[in-house]
């Protein structure tokens, strides 16, 4: 089966990878800006689900993500297996992808600390794609003690 790659596909997957790049660089404000017009679901299984906007996301990250002397969280977010469905006529898209976060601190080993899924919705406004919604789903968790300054209590 041959699937043509479109400009929309490239713009959307670039958003997925820009998120990872900004987070790994410790550029949390810029990372949050990607969600300026989005609904972010931090805990979809809660009743009701825990949903934040851009500023709420920034507040959570500032209180939670450990930033080291080099200005980064010492992580590498790998986003993989994007399954993208684009409705170019409607200017909407969805994407299911997986992530694995590796971390290396001090003299410790590089190790995976968490793996899960992103369920994203996108919208195209004036020819530019942006996040409309992100749902975080964590499937496998390792040692998050060097990544999170406290347990995420939503």
Q: Give pLDDT tens digits along the chain (154 positions).
A: 555 667 899 999 999 999 999 999 999 999 999 999 999 999 988 899 999 999 999 999 999 999 999 999 999 999 999 999 999 999 999 999 999 999 999 889 999 999 999 999 999 999 999 999 999 999 999 998 888 776 554 4
pLDDT at 154: 41
Give pLDDT, residue 149. Answer: 73
Rounded to whole angstroms, the Cα distance separating 86 from 112 reads 31
Instruction: Specify whether the CB–CB gap between 63 and 100 falls below 8 A.
Output: no
Q: What does the pLDDT read at residue 3?
A: 58
pLDDT on residue 145? 87
Total-model pTM: 0.90
CB atoms within 10 A of CB 19: 22
For tokens 């931090």, what's the residue?
42
pLDDT at 146: 85
Token pair for residue 134? Answer: 């992100």
Distance set, CA 41 to CA 4, 31, 78, 138, 143 (Å):
31, 16, 20, 12, 23
Q: Does residue 117 contact residue 98 with C-beta atoms inside 8 Å?
A: yes
Strand order in the sheet with 75-87: 50-52, 39-43, 128-141, 111-125, 92-103, 75-87
Domain 7-141 -> CATH class: alpha beta
105 burial class (0-12, 13-18, 19+ CB within 10 angstroms)?
Answer: middle
**Per the structure block, which two tokens stand in for 51?**
């949903």
Closest to 132 measured CA to CA, from 13, 49, 39, 59? 39
């Amino acid at each position: 089966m041959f699937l043509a790659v479109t400009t929309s596909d490239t713009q959307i997957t670039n958003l997925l990878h820009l998120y990872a790049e900004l987070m790994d660089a410790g550029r949390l404000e810029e990372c949050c800006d990607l969600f300026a017009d989005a609904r972010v679901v931090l805990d979809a299984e809660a009743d009701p689900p825990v949903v934040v906007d851009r500023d709420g996301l920034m507040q959570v990250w500032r209180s939670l993500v450990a930033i080291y002397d080099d200005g980064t969280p010492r992580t590498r977010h790998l986003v993989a297996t994007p399954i993208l469905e684009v409705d170019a006529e409607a200017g909407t898209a969805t994407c299911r992808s997986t992530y694995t976060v590796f971390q290396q601190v001090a003299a410790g080993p590089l190790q995976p600390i968490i793996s899960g899924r992103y369920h994203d919705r996108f919208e195209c406004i004036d020819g530019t794609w942006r996040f409309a919604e992100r749902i975080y789903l964590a499937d496998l968790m390792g040692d998050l003690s060097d990544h999170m300054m406290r347990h995420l209590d939503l």
